[in-house]
Chains A and B, each alone.
Chain A
Amino acid sequence: MIETALLISTIILVLLTFVGLYRAVVGPTVEDRIVAINMISTKVTTIIVMIALLFHQKFFVDVAIVYALLGFITTIGLAKLLMKGKLGK
């Protein structure tokens, strides 16, 4: 019962991710796109963990940890690049 519910929620999350991609493509300012990409990265982390538990591939959880770290570094780097005009000192 729970596995069916998990499968349905994963499919709904994938659809929601594609809907959120609209703002990343269209968004009028650069910050809109960064906000959308940040949200998509959190959603993809959740989807990876759900797929790891659904298909009993335990090492996918480690992939999710790395993906969350990567999304955070991307967001911080882009925000700093926009604010200062350059990365570094």
Chain B
Amino acid sequence: MIVIDIIIILFLISGLFFFFVGVVGLLRMPNVFARMHATTKCDTMGAGLVFSALIMWQGFTFISANILLILVFVWITNPTAAHAIAKTAYQRMEAELLDEAGDE
């Protein structure tokens, strides 16, 4: 039991590290796309490691199946949301650049 405890705590610490990196990237990166690069990594790896630790702690129960469902849902929806935001940001940036070029 000691070994599995150590593995669980290691996973928790690694997940917290990825969340911390995501927040630092969100605060310090220069523009939208660089910030998105940091935060999507934090969502995928951080949530994945923390949820894996919780599943290992719970064992094979109904609750751990629910947590696995949340994990798969987060892994599917976060890249989709990031793609939508990036497409919007790119189109708006392009339109602004075209407007500036048209004025001159």
Contact = CB atoms under 8 A, between A and B. Distances in A.
A35 B35 contact: yes
Contact of A61 (B47, B66, B82): B66
B57 to A, nearest CB: 6
Contacts of A12: 16
Contacts, number: 121
A61 B67 contact: yes
B81 A75 contact: yes
Interface of A: 1-2, 5-6, 9, 12-13, 16, 19-20, 22-23, 29, 31-32, 34-36, 38-39, 42-43, 45-46, 49-50, 53, 58, 61-62, 64-65, 68-69, 72, 75-76, 79-80, 82-83
Count class of interface residues, chain B: 35 or more
Given A61-B63, A69-B73, 9 more contacts: A5-B9, A6-B57, A16-B23, A20-B27, A35-B35, A42-B78, A65-B66, A68-B70, A75-B81
B86 to A, nearest CB: 8
Interface of B: 5, 8-9, 12-13, 15-16, 19-20, 22-23, 26-27, 32, 35-36, 39, 42-43, 46-47, 50-51, 54, 57-58, 63, 66-67, 69-70, 73-74, 77-78, 80-82, 84-85, 87-89, 91-92
